[in-house]
């Protein structure tokens, strides 16, 4: 036979007081916040190390596409794992071949197998003039460079501001192994916010 609980004892429970409940709720919220913060930091580290990295543009060699002191994101993933080929027109970030402690950003003009020639400031690829809408007329120069065939895994790069760019015309091509990112997005200043082309 089941024993009945006396009426006087029916209101006695082991439920926590409202103060204990609030303390547990605050602890739970704090732990949840710390967990989310930790995950956010881990994700940010992974993104910066392997996917996207913020960098600051120094110099005027890529004007008008990029301005001095602009902040951009570079995609470090797309080339590293072979998800995309380095193509003509890409803005790449690479270790400067003559001093690998420095990084440069330039536009790819010639890819492996191309014959690149510059005549009076006009670039010719495999004998045909290259349409370069990204080079403003006031930034063009009249330099020439003899025709050169790109070997496997080397790239001919130029700045968009031809008058002030130190590039493949003066120091040669960039080895594939020195290229570590593609410029993809301007995030500062806000009035320049947008995808790079």
Residue 9 phi/psi, 5-degree rounding, is -95, -5
Q: Identify whether 61 is a catalytic site residue.
A: yes
**Residues 27-46, buried b or exposed e (16+ Cβ, 10 A)?**
eeeeeeeeeeeeeeeeeeee
Q: Check 61, 165, 168, 182 and give the catalytic one.
A: 61
Q: Residue 160 has which token pair? A: 């968009």
Catalytic site includes residue 106: yes
Q: Is 53 helix (H, G, I), strand (E, B) or coil?
A: strand
Angle subtended at Cα 52 by Cα 51 and Cα 54, rounded to the nearest 5 degrees? 155
User: Closest Cα partner for 196 from 37, 21, 62, 69?
Assistant: 62
- Taking phi over 0 as left and psi of -120 to 50 as alpha, with beta for the rest, 102 belongs to beta
Cβ–Cβ < 8 Å for 187, 71: yes
Distance (Å, whole) CA 152 – CA 169: 19
Q: Which residue of the set 76, 106, 168, 182 is catalytic?
A: 106
The structure tokens listed for 63 are 């004007």
Catalytic residues: 61, 106
């Amino acid at each position: 036979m089941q024993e009945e609980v006396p009426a006087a004892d029916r209101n006695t429970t082991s439920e926590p007081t409202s103060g204990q409940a609030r303390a547990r709720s605050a602890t739970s919220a704090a732990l949840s916040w710390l967990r989310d913060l930790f995950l956010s930091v881990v994700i940010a580290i992974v993104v910066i190390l392997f996917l996207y990295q913020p960098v600051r543009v120094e110099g005027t060699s890529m004007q008008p596409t990029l301005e001095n002191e602009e902040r951009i994101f570079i995609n470090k993933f797309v080339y590293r794992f072979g998800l995309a080929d380095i193509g003509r027109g890409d803005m790449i970030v690479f270790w400067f071949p003559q001093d690998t402690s420095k990084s440069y950003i330039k536009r790819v003009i010639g890819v492996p197998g191309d014959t690149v020639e510059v005549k009076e400031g006009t670039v010719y690829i495999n004998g045909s003039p290259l349409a370069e809408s990204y080079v403003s007329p006031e930034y063009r120069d009249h330099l020439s460079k003899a025709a050169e065939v790109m070997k496997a895994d080397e790239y001919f790069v130029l700045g968009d501001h031809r008058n002030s760019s130190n590039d493949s015309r003066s120091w040669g091509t960039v080895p594939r192994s020195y290229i570590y990112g593609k410029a993809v997005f301007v995030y500062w200043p806000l009035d320049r916010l947008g995808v790079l082309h």
